[in-house]
Amino acid sequence: MLDFLGTLERTHRCGELRASDAGKEVVIMGWVNRRRDHGNLIFLDVRDRSGIIQVVLDKELVPEGHAKGEQVRPEYVVAAVGKLRLRAKDAINPKMPTGEVELETTKLLVLNDTKLAPFSPADEAIANEEVRLKFRYVDLRRHEMQRNFRLRHDITLAIRESLSRQGFLEIETPILCKSTPEGARDFLVPSRVHAGEFYALPQSPQIFKQLLMISGFDRYFQIARCFRDEDLRADRQLEFTQVDLEMSFPRQDSVFAVVEDFLTSGFAAAGITLPKPFPRITYDESMRLYGSDKPDMRLPGLTDVRAAFADADLDSLKFDPALPVIALRIPNVGELSRKEREDNHPLFDEKKGAKFIDDFKRLAKSFPAAVDKIRELTGAQEADFVIIVAGDPAHHIQASDTKFPGRLSEREIAVFSAAGNFRVELSKKYADRHGAFKVTDEVVVAAAANSEADVKPGPLDGAQAFQPIWVTDFPMFEYDAEHKQWMPAHHPFTSPHESDMANLLTDPASVRANCYDLAMNGLELGSGSIRIHSQDVQKQIFTSLKISEEEAKARFGFFLDALEYGTPPHGGHRAGA
RNA sequence: GGGGACGUAGCUCAGUUGGUUAGAGCGCUGCCCUGUCACGGCAGAGGUCGCGGGUUCGAGCCCCGUCGUCCCCGCCA
């Protein structure tokens, strides 16, 4: 028989109770996490979103309460009334935040019973995804899930506060809308009124936010839901959330300052301190130093050691002398056996037209002078694992050899990125040995522990663990070999560098974009650009993309019209949430 | 669209070369227990080995098909 709640009111959340509350008359309500029945003495762990408190039912003192405690099972909903008391010294549980106290119960109400779910929120091992989703409401009772939701709330609140403080207005944009030509497949919603026609769900608020700038809202942001009907991955969902923003009259620096502020605020809400301002690197430098446009800077970068080799050396090693010779080193990996090295071979992508030498010892025997020089250039220690990556003349990839002053050719990029990918794969594989990722794990664990308490301890220094960096000056276009045409690397509204405009038609590969990514630890956190605000430039871009006027009109018509009605210079950013 | 792994008790999983009655831990049910906190003790229930077909004297195990789940590639401007 269930009890009625009546006029009883909760006085505290379970997890909030501390030694300083001892002596108080307390009413708590929640779910039974575990029951420990000692016959005449029963302990109930009662749980709500704040945590767990031990409720004691003594048959001698409260026979009715004890009798109810005997019927109670895990996940029953109960209310317990009584006096909070300090536990005896030898009964203190240092593993629980509430472990110094317990509730000496005078009255126990059973508010609801439960069917037996296939798993319990108190379980250590978690059930498979399918079962968890079917019983989502039970799964979400788990401490870890409650903590994640809370953390997300804290972070988005901090982001809203930061952006609002910086003069941004949060504005919602339509969900049911016209299909816009972005990269992914649209989700479609059939229209009841217009049979046979469909609404599309937005892949991002890109067009809307640019329209808002044209409308004079000046600074806009939105924590926006985006929809893309593409195949899933473990870290990719059909609907996801972005922090989306756009501002008028921006310089690139002003966008960076805004993003750095909301991001550091968000991390601070998770108890992690990021140093401001974030470092910056151009796309070309990033390719040169990390072989990637989203560098992971927790480990040493790449070193071009071409100069260490005489031309004759390169010839006998069958390295392409026109391309960089790259040393990549991963600290403290130690010496690898031949078998271990062979197991690593599949991690290297030979299709990029590059080859490698991973037997540094043998290289030292044949080319001692070169190896000395490499050690000097890379600062490699005895215990470091060093691999040489170079262009393979036998494996020429299809690429133009055009080179621009101070910029990388496609073929160079191919070698750098082959080395960069290898660096990342090997870093993951030998994470235990170099230990550079461990710092991150430790900070994450510590931050998670912080977020469990209502009052957070001091912030953690995440400077070593989380290394954000701006990557700037991306190429404007990428060559799509399959369709034999130039494609926008970002999107077609990204503005080109003013100084590169002259090459738009003659030499698309050389044009840099006012476009930037924010990378952290080898992941892309977000990206953005300064947009095109002039109809003129926009037309030139379409021309170089070989998009005809009719086609442009059909695909972006209303947006191009809008550009003709007083569009301010504007730019923005979006970041995954 | 392509590739891989998996599917055995409510949950997490083991099951050897194809061989008698398919196991463990947790959970569940009953009984005992006044200081536990992943309480403990005793007893017990619980299985269409995803499904269909085949090979075999004999299939959880081998083969074919099928369904489902997860992961990866393509895809995600």
Nucleotide nearest to A99 (CA to C1'): B37
CA neighbours closer than 13 Å in the CB half-sphere of residue A510:
16
pLDDT of residue A136: 93
Give the angle subtended at the CA of A421 by the CAs of A420 and A423, to the nearest 5°: 65
Instruction: Give the CA A485 to C1' B74 distance in Å.
Output: 20
Lowest-pLDDT choice from A32-36, A194-198, A299-303, A459-463: A459-463
**Considering chain A, what percentage of its residues have pLDDT values greater than 90?**
56
How much is the average pLDDT of A281-301? 92
Please determine, for residue A3, whether its predicted confidence score (pLDDT) is greater than 70. Answer: yes
pLDDT of residue A75: 96
In this prediction, residue A413 has a pLDDT band, given cuts at 50, 70 and 90, of: confident
pLDDT of residue A313: 87
Please determine, for residue A565, whether its predicted confidence score (pLDDT) is greater than 80. Answer: yes
In this prediction, residue A463 has a pLDDT band, given cuts at 50, 70 and 90, of: confident
Cα–Cα distance, A253 to A261 (Å, whole number): 12
In total, chain A counts a number of residues equal to 577
Instruction: Give the CA A121 to C1' B41 distance in Å.
Output: 26
Instruction: Give the CA A34 to C1' B25 distance in Å.
Output: 18
Nucleotide nearest to A488 (CA to C1'): B77
Nucleotide nearest to A127 (CA to C1'): B11
- Collapse the DSSP code of A524 into the 3-class scheme (helix H, G, I; strand E, B; otherwise coil) and give the result: strand
Nucleotide nearest to A230 (CA to C1'): B76
Chain mean pLDDT for chain A: 89
Instruction: Give the CA A81 to C1' B22 distance in Å.
Output: 49
Instruction: Give the CA A477 to C1' B77 distance in Å.
Output: 11
Cα–Cα distance, A509 to A416 (Å, whole number): 18
Please determine, for residue A214, whether its predicted confidence score (pLDDT) is greater than 80. Answer: yes
In this prediction, residue A121 has a pLDDT band, given cuts at 50, 70 and 90, of: very high
Please determine, for residue A532, whether its predicted confidence score (pLDDT) is greater than 90. Answer: yes
Q: Interface pTM (ipTM) of the complex?
A: 0.90
Token readout for A450 is 């912080």
Using CB atoms within 10 Å of the CB of residue A256, give its burial: 0 to 12 exposed, 13 to 18 middle, 19+ buried.
buried
Instruction: Give the CA A452 to C1' B46 distance in Å.
Output: 38
Identify, with chain letter, the residue nearest to nucleotide B7 (CA–C1').
Answer: A128
DSSP structure class, residue A119: S
Q: Do A238 and A559 form a contact (C-beta atoms < 8 A)?
A: no
pLDDT of residue A56: 97
pLDDT of residue A345: 82
Instruction: Give the CA A332 to C1' B55 distance in Å.
Output: 55
Q: List all residues 6 or more positions away from A379 whose beta carbon is below 8 Å from its beta carbon.
A: A300
In this prediction, residue A479 has a pLDDT band, given cuts at 50, 70 and 90, of: confident
pLDDT of residue A30: 97
Please determine, for residue A321, whether its predicted confidence score (pLDDT) is greater than 60. Answer: yes
pLDDT of residue A49: 95
Please determine, for residue A453, whether its predicted confidence score (pLDDT) is greater than 80. Answer: no
**Considering chain A, what percentage of its residues have pLDDT values greater than 70?**
96
The residue written with tokens 């392409």 in the block is A320
Instruction: Give the CA A281 to C1' B56 distance in Å.
Output: 68
Please determine, for residue A54, whether its predicted confidence score (pLDDT) is greater than 90. Answer: yes
Lowest-pLDDT choice from A37-46, A90-99, A153-162, A416-425: A416-425
Nucleotide nearest to A133 (CA to C1'): B69
Instruction: Give the CA A533 to C1' B63 distance in Å.
Output: 66
Instruction: Give the CA A130 to C1' B48 distance in Å.
Output: 22
Please determine, for residue A169, whether its predicted confidence score (pLDDT) is greater than 80. Answer: yes
In this prediction, residue A259 has a pLDDT band, given cuts at 50, 70 and 90, of: very high
More confident residue, A74 or A314: A74
Please determine, for residue A194, whether its predicted confidence score (pLDDT) is greater than 90. Answer: yes
Please determine, for residue A405, whether its predicted confidence score (pLDDT) is greater than 90. Answer: no
Q: What is the pTM of this model?
A: 0.91
CA neighbours closer than 13 Å in the CB half-sphere of residue A386:
25
Q: List all residues 6 or more positions away from A268 whose beta carbon is below 8 Å from its beta carbon.
A: A158, A274, A459
pLDDT of residue A472: 94
Nucleotide nearest to A93 (CA to C1'): B37
More confident residue, A418 or A346: A418
pLDDT of residue A402: 55
Please determine, for residue A129, whether its predicted confidence score (pLDDT) is greater than 60. Answer: yes
Instruction: Give the CA A100 to C1' B5 distance in Å.
Output: 47
Nucleotide nearest to A40 (CA to C1'): B34
pLDDT of residue A267: 93
More confident residue, A98 or A554: A98
pLDDT of residue A447: 80
How much is the average pLDDT of A52-77? 96
How much is the average pLDDT of A303-327? 89
Q: State pLDDT tens for residues A66-84.
A: 999 999 999 999 999 999 9
pLDDT of residue A115: 93
Q: State pLDDT tens for residues A99-114.
A: 999 999 999 999 999 9
- Strand pairing report for A354-357 and A325-330: unpaired
pLDDT of residue A477: 85
In this prediction, residue A399 has a pLDDT band, given cuts at 50, 70 and 90, of: low
Instruction: Give the CA A128 to C1' B7 distance in Å.
Output: 12
Cα–Cα distance, A250 to A438 (Å, whole number): 38
Please determine, for residue A272, whether its predicted confidence score (pLDDT) is greater than 60. Answer: yes
Nucleotide nearest to A33 (CA to C1'): B37
A419 CA to centre of own chain: 24
Q: Which amino acid, one-letter code, is at A255? A: V
In this prediction, residue A1 has a pLDDT band, given cuts at 50, 70 and 90, of: confident
Nucleotide nearest to A59 (CA to C1'): B34
In this prediction, residue A429 has a pLDDT band, given cuts at 50, 70 and 90, of: confident
Instruction: Give the CA A563 to C1' B43 distance in Å.
Output: 81
Question: Which chain B positions have some atom within 7 A of a protein CB?
Answer: 1, 10-13, 25-29, 32-40, 68-77
Nucleotide nearest to A480 (CA to C1'): B77
How much is the average pLDDT of A211-237? 93
How much is the average pLDDT of A296-304? 92
The residue written with tokens 């003709």 in the block is A564
Q: Do A111 and A31 form a contact (C-beta atoms < 8 A)?
A: no
Identify, with chain letter, the residue nearest to nucleotide B28 (CA–C1').
Answer: A116
